[in-house]
Structure 1
């Protein structure tokens, strides 16, 4: 178990570092350059993933709380609530990113074309709605979380080193699971639908270019690269979500969490927020250009000195 904990800590550290780098990069782009429409969404996703990976390793948050004279029960509820909210936000913002890209690449003759300017106009409203919805949606679940005491006597289900879920009525348990699943399934279906649309659009576009003997290599266009990146993220997210869903649903319905299964679930949950920034960094040429520019300036300053 100690080696597994080391893997989880390394994964969380790597995820936090690369997401922090990506967050700083997008803030720099938004403030100092002409940002793309999806940069605001990606910036928010990077912030969400930083909090998510850190909240997933409960010892980090617990050490922070230890310096404060706060009741253990409140610490557990806060940790559990933050993790639930960030997990929901990750699903929602990833879905928004997929929808926005699908609308962005739509041709002017498409039915989605009329939503291009509306999406840009109401993006802030969409962010406020997504945050408000997830903050309120996860609030009911904190009543069933608290400090871990004794599983054998109180029938609590240990979900972290220090925290557990209190016993709840089976009907309430199923209702909570059904509501959370319904939200996630709806968003996953939307992501898969927009992904299928983007795949069909890119396939048709490539066929048209071959038919017209395009010489400009449209396959290397920034729009296509961005679309392919988002498609990769969506497919990867859906796969990781399904694995996480199977483990968490079985644990909630059976009211039993094995320590190994819990560690595996934490690893699976943190794979997406760790891989996402690496994919975005490798596919965004602006990152390389900015790093080259900074290196050139530093090199010139060093030579002058």
Structure 2
């Protein structure tokens, strides 16, 4: 094990630890709002699902890839490898689908207030839960066909029949036909990325028109309250697309030739980058989350200050106890 392997292991573990904490905070926050019967926005369910699949991606890829970087490649048996790889593939596909759903939902929310759009805005929230359920079912069924190709890793010993990918190896002789792979995997991803590009361009256009109205008609930015949320989602979606495309390039390059450890680790780092940064982008941009954090932090600060005052200036009963007076 070299110094580079140790650095890679530290990078994977740090990436996983930081990302899981951020995503778990979002899950806790929205669950708290739900169980305390506070107002939940329709978009909060999408954020919760995104945090959930991001956590699943980090735990099924980043942590185990860190172990693989340290040379611990024989931790899983064939069944364990199939389960972990399957969960990662499902979470990766769901991350794309839910990001696509998020981009489309926000595009509808900020659309012009015409009668046609108003009716659509009223109907869209009720379709969020069924859409997420359909995404889960689709990706769980989609990735079943790749399970038979996987088995536990035997180390980085690529042959003409076996290719190693960290903790798992793939039997390339049990190949999926090119046409089947294009229909089952490539086509849905291409449709989602095209839809994300279209809705993102539409939102940029609406923000540009709103910016023009502010300068030409002195319209207050409060007349467009979704502006900040739209900018945040645009940044989130753009970050996702960049990492997704870079990882797709690495993955395509690995499939075109025998992968080496450097390519496998680089692809894994890119895969785990968006799940790590996305929760903090949401936390720092969502005013609702910031208000909650400031409220809780303010209460803790007040309680700490009161405790310190009681320690320095105890009440009469406490003062007698401290000084030993009868």
Structures share a fold, TM > 0.5? yes
Deviation digits for residues 15-57 of structure 1, max 9, x if unmatched?
1111111111122233332122211100110011011111113
SS of the aligned residue for 1:38 comes to helix
Go from structure 1 to structure 2 and tell me whether the alpha carbon gap of 1:153 and 1:106 turns closer, same or farther (over 3 Å shift).
closer
Per the TM alignment, residue 253 of structure 1 is displaced from its structure 2 partner at its CA by 3.2
The question of whether the paired residues in 1 share the 8 Å contact of 2:158 and 2:164 is answered with no
Give the superposed CA RMSD. 2.5
Separation in 2, partners of 1:152, 1:164:
9
1:118-137 → structure 2 map (5 Å cutoff): 118-137=123-142
**Residue 245 of structure 2 corresponds to which residue in structure 1?**
242
The question of whether the paired residues in 2 share the 8 Å contact of 1:30 and 1:39 is answered with no
The question of whether the paired residues in 1 share the 8 Å contact of 2:12 and 2:269 is answered with yes
Residue in structure 2 matching 1:157, options 144, 159, 163: 163
Greater shift in the superposed pair: 164-173 or 223-232: 164-173
**Residue 33 of structure 2 corresponds to which residue in structure 1?**
29
Per the TM alignment, residue 5 of structure 1 is displaced from its structure 2 partner at its CA by 1.9
**Residue 14 of structure 1 corresponds to which residue in structure 2?**
18
**Residue 297 of structure 1 corresponds to which residue in structure 2?**
299
The question of whether the paired residues in 1 share the 8 Å contact of 2:42 and 2:128 is answered with no
Per the TM alignment, residue 295 of structure 1 is displaced from its structure 2 partner at its CA by 2.5
Per the TM alignment, residue 103 of structure 1 is displaced from its structure 2 partner at its CA by 0.5
Go from structure 1 to structure 2 and tell me whether the alpha carbon gap of 1:9 and 1:173 turns closer, same or farther (over 3 Å shift).
farther
Per the TM alignment, residue 284 of structure 1 is displaced from its structure 2 partner at its CA by 1.2
Residue in structure 2 matching 1:223, options 226, 232, 236: 226
**Residue 54 of structure 1 corresponds to which residue in structure 2?**
59
Is 1:102 matched up with 2:107?
yes
Go from structure 1 to structure 2 and tell me whether the alpha carbon gap of 1:198 and 1:92 turns closer, same or farther (over 3 Å shift).
same
1:63-102 → structure 2 map (5 Å cutoff): 72-102=77-107
**Residue 185 of structure 1 corresponds to which residue in structure 2?**
190
Per the TM alignment, residue 155 of structure 1 is displaced from its structure 2 partner at its CA by 2.6
Go from structure 1 to structure 2 and tell me whether the alpha carbon gap of 1:274 and 1:61 turns closer, same or farther (over 3 Å shift).
closer
Per the TM alignment, residue 196 of structure 1 is displaced from its structure 2 partner at its CA by 0.5
Per the TM alignment, residue 153 of structure 1 is displaced from its structure 2 partner at its CA by 6.0
Go from structure 1 to structure 2 and tell me whether the alpha carbon gap of 1:135 and 1:62 turns closer, same or farther (over 3 Å shift).
farther
The question of whether the paired residues in 1 share the 8 Å contact of 2:26 and 2:48 is answered with yes
Q: Where does structure 2 lack aligned partners over 5 or more consecutive residues?
A: 69-74, 311-326
Separation in 2, partners of 1:101, 1:90:
16
**Residue 267 of structure 1 corresponds to which residue in structure 2?**
269
Residue in structure 1 matching 2:143, options 125, 134, 138: 138
Separation in 2, partners of 1:61, 1:78:
18
- Count of residue pairs brought into register by the alignment: 295
The question of whether the paired residues in 1 share the 8 Å contact of 2:62 and 2:269 is answered with no
Deviation digits for residues 117-158 of structure 1, max 9, x if unmatched?
222112221111110000000111111111123745673111
**Residue 66 of structure 1 corresponds to which residue in structure 2?**
none
Larger radius of gyration: 2
Per the TM alignment, residue 112 of structure 1 is displaced from its structure 2 partner at its CA by 4.5
